[in-house]
Structure 1
Amino acid sequence: MPESSFPTPTPQPRFRDTVEEWMRQFQDWLCRQLETTDGAGRFREDAWQHHSGGGGRSRILTEGGIIEKGGVNFSAVEGTMSEAAARQLLMPDPRYFATGVSVVQHPRSPRVPISHMNVRYFEAGNGEAWFGGGLDLTPIYVDVAQARWFHRQIAEVCAAHQPGYYGRFKAWADEYFYLPHRQETRGIGGIFFDRQVVGKDGDQEALFAFVRAVGEVYGRTYCELLRQNADLPYTEAEKRWQLVRRGRYAEFNLAIDRGTRFGLETGGRTESILMSLPPQAEWHYNLIPAPGSPEAETQQWLQKGIDWLSDPPAAA
C-alpha cells in the first residue's frame, strides 16, 4: 500500500519559496504513491532549465504494470512574456513567477480511467498572486458507482475548506473540460478552479491549504481506482475503443488546454508540455457506437451538468 504521510509546507523567507518547495515535495510523494500502486514501473527524471529563469523536473513512467504512460511534472519558472502572450493569458503584468505540478496518467487497460491533476501558483510582476488547479477523470467505460465515489471524495474535501467550492468548481470543470467541436465532455469531470486571487478569494494560507488538499485527494482516490480496476478483463474491441477515446483526450489537450498554451507561449520545455498526450491513439471517420452498446452508454454520460452525487446520477 502507498505510504500515507503527506508533505506539509516548511515556511521559507518568501511565501512563493514555501509554495515552490511544497510542490517539489508533492511531486516526490505522488511519484512514490503511483510507483507503489503500479508495482512495476519507475519514473525517470529529466531535469531542465528555463531560458529566462528557474526550471523543472519532468518525471515519466512508461511500460508499467498498470500505467502505460504517466507523467508527474514539477516546474518553477520566471521571466517576462510577450505582450501578446500576456494579453492572451490575462496576465496583469508580463513579468511572472509560476510553480506547479501537472499530472496525467494513461493506463494500459481500457477498464482503468485516464486521470489528470494540476495544482499551480502564479505571481505577476505587479504583486498580484493567485492559485489554480483541479482534477478530473476520463473513463473509457463509465462505471457509475465509481464515478459517484470519485465525486463524493472531492465534494468532502471541498466542503472541509469552503461549502460552496464543490458546486462552483464542479460546474467550472464541466465547462472547461469540454470539447465544443464534439459537443461532449472529456470525461466525468471533477473540479477546476483558476485565478483564485490572494486577498480577493481568500487569504494565502487558506488557498494554499485547499490546493494541498486537492493534491492529496487525487493521489488517494486515483491509486484506489488503479487497484480496483487493474485486473479486470477486456477484449480487443474494448482496447480499440480506448484508442478512440484517447484521441478525444489528445484533441482537448492540443486545441483547448490553457496549460499547454501557457507552456508553449512562455518557451517551456516542449517534451514536458506534451507529456500529457497518450502513447497511442486513433481517429476514425464518423465513428458512431452501435445503439445500446457499452460504448454508446458511455457516450450518454459525456455531458455537462450531471449530478454525480445523486443516486442514481441525474442530468441537471
Structure 2
Amino acid sequence: MNKNQIATWFQGLQDQICQALEKADGKAQFQEDLWERQGGGGGRSRIIQNGHILEKGGVNFSAVYGEMSEKLLQMMNLPTNDKITFFATGVSIVLHPVSPMIPIIHMNVRYFEMSHGTWWFGGGIDLTPHYIDKADARWFHEQLKAVCDKYHTNFYPEYKKWADDYFFLKHRNETRGVGGIFFDYLNEGKTGFSKKQLFDFVKEVGLAFAPIYTYFMHKNKDLPYSTAELHWQRVRRGRYVEFNLVWDRGTKFGLETDGRTESILMSLPPQANWVYNYQPEPNSNEAETQSLLRKGIDWLSI
C-alpha cells in the first residue's frame, strides 16, 4: 500500500468513530472544519461539545507534507544540511466527558515517511480516569492485550511499558492515568513485520477505540457525583493540560510543522483548575487515585 491508501483508510476511521460517538452521546454532533496547511496538505478537524456525555472532544484527521525544518531534522538526529521532505497522516482523538466518573481518553494512529525512504507507523491508546476504578482499568488493558496478542505476545508488555514511560509527568512524578499502549517508529527493520502487517496492527488499534470508549460512556454515565468530584475532575484536567503542553511530542510536532493551532490544541479541556500545593484528603477516593498514578502496575491482575 502507498501513503495515499493509508491516508484514505484513516479518513474512513475518523468517519466510523465520529458516528459511534454521536450515537452513544445521543445529543451532540461533530462540527467539521476543513483546513489547509500552508506548506502542504491539510485535514479535517471534527469537534463535539456540550453533549449529554461528552463535554468537549475532537476526532481529527490530517495528511500533511513538505520540507523538513532544521529543528525537525535535529529532533530526529538527521543532518540539518540535507533537503528532506516528509509526509505524515493519521487520526488523533481526545475526549473530555461531562461526568468525573467517566475517564478522559486519547488515541492516535499515524504514518510517517521521508523522501530518503524511511517510513514508520506509530500510535496508541491511553486512559485517564479522574477516579481510578481497578476493574475498569483491568478491562481496558484486557482489550488492548487482546489486540496486541493477535500479532505478537511481546507487543502488549513492550507497548504497555512504553505507555507508562511516555505518559508520565516528570515534574509531578506521576503517570497521566492508567496508561495503555504506546508505540512509535515501527517498521520492518525494527519489528521484522512487513509494512502490510504493521498497517493491519495499526488498523486494529484504531478500530478498537469506539467499542472501548462507548463501553465506558454507557457504563458510567449515570453514576452520581457531587461538586467535590467536579473539583477533583478539574484538578486532574489541569495535570492533563500540563502533560500535553510540556511533554507531548505530537503537540510539539504539530506546532513545529506549522499545523493548525486550533486542531493541535483541541486536546485541552474546556475548564481546568490549578490549586497551589493541592493535597487530597487522607484515605479519600482522591487519595487512592493519586496513589495509583505510578509506573509498572500490572493492571491485568490488580
Give your verdict on TM over 0.5: yes
RMSD in angstroms over aligned alpha carbons?
Answer: 1.1
The equivalent of 1:40 in structure 2 is: 27
SS in 1 for 2:150: helix
The aligned runs of 1:267-286 (5 Å cut-off) are 267-286=258-277
Q: Distance in 2 between matches of 1:232 and 1:91?
A: 51
Matched, 1:252 2:243: yes
Matched, 1:16 2:10: no
- Cα displacement (A) at 1:88: 1.4
Matched, 1:300 2:297: no
SS in 1 for 2:28: coil
- Cα displacement (A) at 1:81: 2.3
Amino acid aligned to 2:175: T
The equivalent of 1:225 in structure 2 is: 216
Amino acid aligned to 2:203: R
- After TM superposition, the score normalised by the length of structure 2 is 0.97
Q: Distance in 2 between matches of 1:185 and 1:89?
A: 25
SS in 2 for 1:299: helix
- Cα displacement (A) at 1:270: 0.3
Per chain length, whose mean CA-contact separation is higher, i.e. which structure has more relative contact order (CA < 8 Å, sep 6+)?
2
Contact 1:91-1:124 within 8 A present in 2 as well: no
Q: Distance in 1 between matches of 2:2 and 2:261?
A: 28
Amino acid aligned to 1:271: E
The equivalent of 1:263 in structure 2 is: 254
- Cα displacement (A) at 1:220: 0.9
Matched, 1:108 2:95: no
The equivalent of 2:167 in structure 1 is: 177
The equivalent of 1:140 in structure 2 is: 130
Q: Distance in 2 between matches of 1:181 and 1:57?
A: 34
Q: Distance in 1 between matches of 2:41 and 2:78?
A: 19
Q: Distance in 1 between matches of 2:47 and 2:189?
A: 36
Matched, 1:67 2:54: yes
Deviation string 1:221-242 (CA, Å, 9 cap, x unpaired) is: 1110111001111000100000
Q: Distance in 1 between matches of 2:266 and 2:285?
A: 29
SS in 1 for 2:142: helix
The equivalent of 1:9 in structure 2 is: none
Q: Distance in 1 between matches of 2:129 and 2:77?
A: 32
The equivalent of 1:125 in structure 2 is: 115
- Cα displacement (A) at 1:132: 0.1
Contact 1:128-1:198 within 8 A present in 2 as well: no
The equivalent of 1:149 in structure 2 is: 139
- Count of equivalent residues: 298
The aligned runs of 1:174-213 (5 Å cut-off) are 174-201=164-191, 202-213=193-204
Deviation string 1:206-232 (CA, Å, 9 cap, x unpaired) is: 100000110111211111011100111
Amino acid aligned to 1:289: P
Q: Distance in 2 between matches of 1:281 and 1:149?
A: 28
Unaligned stretches of 5+ residues in structure 1 = 1-13
Q: 1:251 to 1:89 in 2, by over 3 A?
A: farther
Deviation string 1:75-106 (CA, Å, 9 cap, x unpaired) is: 00000121122211446874100000000000
- Cα displacement (A) at 1:73: 0.3
- Cα displacement (A) at 1:52: 1.6
SS in 1 for 2:202: helix
> Identity over the aligned pairs, expressed in percent?
57
Contact 1:89-1:262 within 8 A present in 2 as well: no
Deviation string 1:113-170 (CA, Å, 9 cap, x unpaired) is: 0000000000011111100000000000001101000000100110011110000000
Query: 129-138 or 81-90: which moved more?
Result: 81-90
- After TM superposition, the score normalised by the length of structure 1 is 0.92
Amino acid aligned to 1:280: Q
The equivalent of 1:162 in structure 2 is: 152
Q: Distance in 1 between matches of 2:167 and 2:289?
A: 16
Q: Distance in 1 between matches of 2:187 and 2:246?
A: 26
The equivalent of 1:234 in structure 2 is: 225
